[in-house]
Structure 1
Amino acid sequence: MSRVFMKEKPLQDRGHYRVNPTSKNDRGNRKSSTSSLPDLSWKRFFGITLVWVFIGLVFLVIFQRYQSLLELNSQTAQYADSKKLIPQACGLLPPNGATYLFDPLAINRTDVLYSGLRIENKHDHPMVAILFDSANAKKLLALSIATGNSSQIAVPVGQYGMQVLLGSSWCNLETGFSDGATVTVEGGISVNADATTSMQFSGSGIRPVRLDLAYNMLPIDLQHLEQPLEVIGNGKLDLQQTRDGHYFSSGTVNGVPVVFMIDTGATVVSVSAEIASRAGIQKCTNQKMTTANGIVSACKAIVPEVTFGEFRLTNVEVMVMPNLPGNPLLGMNVLRNFHLEQVDRTMRISTR
């Protein structure tokens, strides 16, 4: 028997069968697994942050500019609503009776008494009268009066300062008349309850200007009543203030159920044409009224009976307003017969 002897290979060769070594070329192509990540060093992070901050500031400036343009457009729209007193170019005279409210919140109030202000212009130039708060000189209202005409408006009772602008080429409320003069009424004016403040301006010229003023109080010319207003009922009525700050009371006009809004700023009881029709109001006297929205047509009538709460009133003067929005108004010709007291959010109306 023959024997075959196997020569044992060195140990280093054995690993050849267990490990597949990587070729030199493959090793050269290998890269670190983190080499593909971006460089997030603090310098680069700081630079990127500055870029985004700059972009944000640019957008902020653009946004603020946009907001300013919106406000400018809003103001322009507000002035556009009063083109009668603010024309686009100097030269156009404002029509008689044109009004502009500098501060609508100070003029359109429901917590004060109102009375009439009548201005007659006998000067040889048109004029614009400006009312301002005598305490802080804040402008409140502007009213135009053409030569040889008069204009009347209702304003809250109180003391006012007044300036009169005169001229023949009107520009705007900042410039006034380009060829005009400005005269301040010394001592201001008083608008009192139950009377119409009447002012009559006369004179001539601009440079120099001569302006004379006749100033007096005229009792309110109410329609003659066959029988005086009579209040029937005693006691008190407590009304709770609504979220929008108003007070309401149920009542009737000639037996027609209504919900009155208590309005101390309304001279007389005011109802819509629709309520007047249902209440059988047929005879009335047509007249013009100046309101915050301009001159409107109205009709004055005497109603046999008006009630609210537990109170009944007879022979009540009522103003029929064709386009009166919302609730009818319980005005001062009724409320002056009662004692009004407001505590917190409650108004108490009681007989004297």
Structure 2
Amino acid sequence: MNSQDSIKEQKRMGLGMMILAWMVFLGLGILFFGDVLEKQFNPNQRLDTQYSKAGMREVVLQRNKFGHYVTSGTINGQPVTFMLDTGATGVAIPEAIARKLDIPRGRPYRTQTANGISTSYAASLDSVAVGEIELRDVQAGIAPGLAMNQILLGMTFLKHIEFTQRGDTLILRQYL
């Protein structure tokens, strides 16, 4: 191999290493900023539950940058993302999420939504939890027309707990 071939080989290796370095840099950037954006949408991914001596459980939620209370939680022990909605009568589960969670459709019923009248399907959830605030046997609806990646946590859950909003904070309390 002559010196010209050696120089070409070194340039080709250098270019390959530079491309690899940029790919790693971009990949790390996507991971970092994806996490930042997710935390802006759901600032309540990791919840701490406080306990009082009187047997009260308390979870504090922060409002997201869009003005909503979005939080991680569970349905039947499986992780989900909730958007708290005091204007919703019940827990509304998008059909795609209900399929992932293996929640069967019950009887159909008519619902009044912001977009008009729709058909939902009754469902009974064994458990619904936000932090360690948990309710059993919660009635819900599977909503085929609900095109979102969160479950609307409405009053069939919220009416059983106390909640107080102050500024950008929502405090949920469950008395045992």
- TM-score, normalised relative to structure 2: 0.64
Aligned residue identity for 2:94: S
2:69 counterpart of 1:247 = yes
- Distance in 2 separating the partners of 1:322 and 1:271: 8
SS at match of 2:64: coil
2:99 counterpart of 1:260 = no
Q: Which runs of 4+ in 1 moved over 2 A?
A: none
Question: Aligned-residue CA RMSD in angstroms?
Answer: 1.5
SS at match of 1:235: strand
User: In the alignment, what sits opposite 2:170?
Assistant: 347
Per the TM alignment, residue 283 of structure 1 is displaced from its structure 2 partner at its CA by: 4.2
Question: 1:234-313 alignment to 2 at 5 Å?
Answer: 234-313=56-135
SS at match of 1:274: helix
- Distance in 2 separating the partners of 1:290 and 1:239: 28
Question: 1:38-187 alignment to 2 at 5 Å?
Answer: none
Aligned residue identity for 1:262: L
- Distance in 1 separating the partners of 2:140 and 2:56: 23
The structure whose RCO (Cα within 8 Å, separation 6+) is larger is: 2
Question: 1:195-210 alignment to 2 at 5 Å?
Answer: none
Aligned residue identity for 1:256: Q
Aligned with residue 138 of structure 2, among 300, 313, 316: 316
User: In the alignment, what sits opposite 1:331?
Assistant: 154
Unaligned runs of 5+ in 2: 1-54
Aligned residue identity for 1:345: D
Instruction: Tell me the matched-pair count.
Output: 120
Contact 1:249 1:309 in 2 (8 A): no
Per the TM alignment, residue 256 of structure 1 is displaced from its structure 2 partner at its CA by: 2.3
Task: Report which of the two has the higher share of helix.
Answer: 2
Aligned residue identity for 1:241: R
- Cα deviation digits, residues 95-119 of structure 1 (max 9, x gap): xxxxxxxxxxxxxxxxxxxxxxxxx
- Distance in 2 separating the partners of 1:347 and 1:282: 32
Aligned residue identity for 2:117: I
- Cα deviation digits, residues 225-251 of structure 1 (max 9, x gap): xxxxxxxx8411111111211101211
User: In the alignment, what sits opposite 1:188?
Assistant: none
Per the TM alignment, residue 323 of structure 1 is displaced from its structure 2 partner at its CA by: 2.1
- Distance in 1 separating the partners of 2:60 and 2:147: 25
- Cα deviation digits, residues 12-71 of structure 1 (max 9, x gap): xxxxxxxxxxxxxxxxxxxxxxxxxxxxxxxxxxxxxxxxxxxxxxxxxxxxxxxxxxxx
Per the TM alignment, residue 254 of structure 1 is displaced from its structure 2 partner at its CA by: 1.8
% identical equivalent positions: 37
- Distance in 2 separating the partners of 1:295 and 1:344: 33
- Cα deviation digits, residues 269-327 of structure 1 (max 9, x gap): 11111111122212411011121211111101111111111112111101100121221
Contact 1:255 1:279 in 2 (8 A): no
- TM-score, normalised relative to structure 1: 0.33
